[in-house]
Amino acid sequence: MVVKNDPTLMFTNAGMNQFKDIFLGNSKPVDLRVADSQKCLRVSGKHNDLEEVGHDTYHHTMFEMLGNWSFGDYFKKEAIDWAWEYLTSVLKIDKSRLYSTVFEGDKDLKLDKDNEAYDYWAKHLPKDRIINGNRKDNFWEMGDVGPCGPCSEIHADLRSDEERKVIDGSKLVNKDHPQVIEIWNLVFMQFNRKTNGELENLPQKHVDTGMGFERLCRLIQGKSSNYDTDIFTPIIREIEKLSNFKYGENEDVDVAMRVVSDHLRTIAFSITDGQLPSNNKAGYVIRRILRRAVRYGYTFLKFRESFIYKLLPVLIETMGEAYPELENSKVLISKVVKEEEESFLRTLSTGINMLDKIIKETKENNYKVVNGKIAFELYDTYGFPLDLTELILSENGLVANRQEFNKEMDAQKQRARNAANVETGDWVVLAEDDIEEFIGYDYLETELFITRYRKVTVKKKSLYQLVFNITPFYGESGGQIGDSGFIYNENEKIKIIDTKKENNLIIHLSKELPKDVNAKFTAEVDKEKRQSVACNHTSTHLLHEALRSVLGEHVEQKGSLVHYDYLRFDFAHFEKVSNEQIEQVERMVNRKIRANYFLEEKRETPISKAKELGAMMLFGEKYGDLVRVVKYGDSIELCGGTHVKSSGEIGLFKIISESSIASGIRRIEAITGEKAVDHILDQERLINDLDSMLKGNNDIRKSIDNLIQNNSKLNKDLDIIKQNFINIEKRDLIDSAEDFNNTKIIVERIKPILGDKLKDICFSIKKEFTSVVAILAAEVNNKPQIAVVMSDDIIKDKKFTAVEVIRDCAKEIQGGGGGQPFFATAGGKNLNGLDKALHRAKLFVEDKLN
Ligand code: ATP
Ligand code: MG
C-alpha cells in the first residue's frame, strides 16, 4: 500500500501503480497476463475520496482492488467478454441490474467514439443499457503525461424492484446515486500523451481493469451498503458494544461508525506496510486519517478515551486469514494507535478549551460570527476540521466566518505549491526500446551511451536526468543512497551528482547536458564513497541479526538509511535498549566482522527458494518472483543493495546513538571503518585531555571523584561562612533603616553572594520591627532580583501590598513577579535597572505612606 521509488505518489491508489514501470516501458513484463488483488488507498492527490468516506456507503479510504491485466497481450474483446462471463456466469449476478459505459469521443482529443468496445458490449447487453460517457468518466490518464486511453465501466443498479420500475436505471448511471454504482472499470491503454498535449499510439496496447472488492461483495450479498456486508458488520458490532450506540438509528452515529470501521483498516494496514503516523508527508496523511476517526468517535459516539486500538482483534478476525501480517504486527499496531489516539485526545481537549473561551468572548460581545482565522488556527494547530468547529459553534448559536477560513486555507495551499514547484520536461528518447541494465554489483566502470534524457526544474534550478543503456551507478533505493561519479570521453567530462530510482528506471542527475548526447562515454563511480556505503550496508545486516539475537525475534526492520558517513536503523522494540545490550550488540557485530564472512550472493533466486533459505523479508517491500539473496554467515537477507566482498573490510563497527522515534520504534545510528576509528580516537583524546586538565595520574574516575568530594566540602564551608555573613548584613540593614511617618523603610542592594538568601534576610528583618517596609535587591547569576517585605499593619492601615510595590518597580528591570500581600519577589532581564527600581519602589512606598 505504501509506495516507494515514485516521487509522484505516496500510496498505491490504483492497481496499476505496481505495474507502472511496465506501462512506461522501463521493465519487461515476466507474464503477459496477470490477475491480482491490490490494497489501494485514496486519500490524497489525484484520487481523494476521504471526505466522502462514512457519509456515503460505497467509498472507502482503503479498499481491495481486484484486477486483470494484459501487457501487450489480449485487448478489448477478451477484457469485455471475460468481465461479463465472470460477473454473470461465475458469480451469477442478475444481468438485469448491470449497465456498461463506453467513451463517446472528444473533439479536443480528436478522438471518435469507442465503437469497438460498444460492439463487444452489444453482444451481451441491450443497446439502451450501454451508455455513452464523456472524457471525465470514460477516458483514463495516468497523469498529465504518459499512457492513457478510453475506458469502459460496469455499473450495478442495486435499488429495489419497485424503485427500478419508477425510474429506469440507465438514467442514474454515473449520477452519484448511492444505489447505482460503478463496480468495475476496464481501461484500454492505447495512447501516450506528450507534454504538448498530443496523443500518440502506444506500440503495445494494454488492459488494466479494477473492481472494488467491497462493492462486489455488496452486489453478491444483495446489500444496500458496503458496510452491511460481512467485511464490515463484525467491526460495526464491536463499535456498538464499545460505544453503547446502535447502528441504524441515527444518521450521525451511523456516519461515525462507518468512518471508524473504515479508517481502522487504513491505519492498521498502513502500519503493517511500514508507514507509521508522523508529522510529515505520507505519515501525516495517516495521522490525519486516524484523527478523523478519533474525532467522529469523540463527537458522535461520545468516546473520551482511546478506543480504536480495541477494535484491532475483530479486524484481525475478519481479515487476518487473508493478511497474516496483521496478526504478526498486532502489538506494534495496537501500541502505535493507542498512543496516537491518546495524544490527539489531549490536543482535542486543549482545542475545545480554547474554543470554549472564544465562544464565551464572542457571546459576551454579543457577536454571532467567529473570526475565520481562529477557525483556521484550530484546524492548523489542533487538527480541528472546519465542520467540527462549526458543529461546536452551532451548538452555541454561533457561526464561523467561512470566507476568512477559506482565504487562510488558500494561502496555505499556495505556500505549499510554491515550495514544491517542479517542472518536468518530456523525455527525449535517443534509443527506443532499450531496457537499462545495472552492472554495479560487479563493475564500477563501463562504456555506455545515453538512451534518453529530460530536463527537470526544481525551484528555478535546472537538472538533467540521464538514462543509460547500461550503468554501474546504484540508484537510491532500499534506504541506500545513490552513487555519484563521472561520465567522460575525450571531449568532455560530466559529473553525475546523484543517482535515483524511479519506476524501476535508474536516473542519473547532472547539472549539465553533454554537448554530444549521442556520443559514447566511459562511466566511473566514486569508488571511495561506494566502499564506505558498502561497509555501512553490510553492517546494517549484521546489526539487524545481532539485534534479533540480543533483544529477540520481534525486532523487525522499520526503516533504514545507508549513507557513506553513517548508518541508521529503525526497528520495532518496545523499550529502551540498555547500555549493556548496546555493548553486547557492538561486540557481536565486531565479532562477525572479524570472522571475515565472505559475501554469498544469489541473484535471481526464486522467492520460494529464498524463503526456504530463511532469508529475512521486510513487510511492505515489493519483491519480484526472482530475488537477490545476500548472506554473511548467519545473516541472510533479501537485498538489492551493494555490499563488501567480505565482512572484514568493515574493520570496526561502533554505535553512536540509540533513541525512540515513535511509540514502539527505536533508532540506532552507527559508524564503521575509518569513521569508527576516528570516533574512538576522539574519545580517547578527550579522556586524555580531561586527565591532564585534572592533573590526575591516568585515573580519571578517581580525579573526578576527588573533585566532587572537594566541591561538596567547599559548599558546606561556604554555607557556614554565608550564615555569619548574613548576620552582619542584617545588622547593617537594620542600622540603615530610616523613619518615615512612624514606619521604618529599608532600601538596599545586598551582596551578590547572598543573592540566594534574599528571602531569609527579608523574613528576619520583618521580625525586628513592628512597622517596616524593606525593599532589597540582589544580583543572582547575572540577573536582577528584587524582594519586598512589609509588616501586617501596613497592609491593614495603609491599604497597599508588597505585590503592588513589586509590580510597579519590576518594570525597571524588565521583569515581573508577585507573591503574597506581605512578601513579594520579582526577577528580570535588565540588571542595569536595579538601582532605578529600588529608587522607584522607595518613592512608591513613601507616596503610599504619606
Ligand atoms: P467512483 O466514481 O465510484 O469514485 P472511480 O471512477 O473513482 O469510482 P476507478 O478509479 O475506476 O473508480 O476504480 C475502479 C473501481 O474501484 C471502481 O469501479 C470501484 O469498484 C472501486 N473503487 C474506486 N474508488 C473506491 C473507493 N474509494 N472505495 C471503494 N471502492 C472504490
Ligand atoms: Mg472516484
Please state the three-class secondary structure of 517-586 as a single string. CCCEEEEEECHHHHHHHHHHHHHHHHHHHHHHHHHCCCCCEEEEEECCCCEEEEEECCCCCCHHHHHHHH
Cβ(637) to ligand 1 under 6 A? no
pTM above 0.85, yes or no: no
Q: Is the shortest distance between the CB of 845 and ligand 1 below 6 Å?
A: no
213 CB near ligand 1 (under 6 Å): no
pLDDT of 164: 93
Q: How far apart are CA 636 and CA 428, in angstroms?
A: 41
Residue 53 Cβ contacting ligand 1 at under 6 Å: no
| Residue 722 half-sphere exposure toward CB, CA atoms < 13 A | 17
Which of 185, 188, 189, 269 has most ligand 1 atoms within 8 Å of its beta carbon, as the pocket-test mutant?
Answer: 185
Is 5 in contact with 502 (CB distance < 8 Å)? yes
Check residue 433 and give its pLDDT.
66
Ligand 2 centroid, distance to 665 Cα (angstroms): 35
How many Cα atoms occupy the beta-carbon half-sphere of 481 within 13 Å?
20
What cell numbers appear for 280 in the block? 510529515
Ligand closest to the CA atom of residue 182: 1
Ligand 2 centre distance from Cα of residue 796 (Å): 76
- Contacts of 118 by beta carbon, 8 Å cutoff, 6+ apart: 102, 130
CA of 48 to the centre of ligand 2 (A): 7
Short-list 378, 287, 398, CA closest to 339: 287
Please give the Cα distance from 98 to 88 (Å, whole number).
Answer: 9
Q: 781: closest CA among 756, 748, 749? A: 756
Low-confidence ranges of the chain (pLDDT < 50): none
Q: Which residue pairs from 664-667 have beta carbons closer than 8 angstroms and sit at least 24 positions apart in sequence?
A: 664/331, 664/332, 664/335, 664/336, 664/572, 664/573, 664/574, 665/276, 665/558, 665/559, 665/570, 665/571, 665/572, 665/573, 666/570, 666/571, 666/573, 666/576, 666/577, 667/568, 667/569, 667/570
Secondary structure of residue 228 in the 3-state scheme: helix
**Cα(59) to centroid(ligand 2), Å:** 8
From ligand 1's centre to the CA of 846, what distance in Å? 82
- Contacts with 9 (C-beta within 8 Å, 6 or more apart), sequence order: 3, 17, 45
At 548 the pLDDT is 95
pLDDT of residue 420: 64
Q: Return the ligand 1 atom nearest residue 60 CA.
A: 28
Ligand nearest to the CA of 56: 1
Q: 185 CB less than 6 Å from ligand 1?
A: yes
**Residue 214 in contact with ligand 1 by CB distance below 6 A:** yes
pLDDT value of position 620: 65
CA distance 607 to 269: 23
The protein residue with its alpha carbon nearest to ligand 1, atom 7, reads 47
* Tens digit of each residue's pLDDT (9 = 90 or more) over 120-166: 999 999 999 999 999 999 999 887 888 899 999 999 999 999 999 99
Q: Which of 830, 779, 823 is nearest to 804 (CA)?
A: 823
Strands lying side by side in the sheet with 653-662: 557-562, 567-572, 665-672, 653-662
Between vectors from CA 761 to CA 760 and to CA 767, what angle results, nearest 5°? 95
Q: Which residue puts its alpha carbon closest to atom 11 of ligand 1?
A: 185
Pocket lining: 49 vs ligand 1, CB cutoff 6 Å: yes
Q: Which residue in 657, 662, 677 sits closest to 567, CA to CA?
A: 657
Mutate to test the pocket of ligand 1, among 157, 182, 215 (most ligand atoms within 8 A of CB): 182
Which atom in ligand 1 lies closest to the alpha carbon of residue 49? 27
60 Cα: distance to centroid of ligand 2 (angstroms) = 10
Beta-sheet pairing, 738-740 with 665-672: unpaired
Contact 341, 667 (CB under 8 A): no
Cell numbers representing residue 454 in the block: 529530460
Question: Cα 654–655–660 angle (5° rounding)?
Answer: 175
The answer to whether the beta carbons of residues 774 and 766 sit under 8 Å apart is: yes
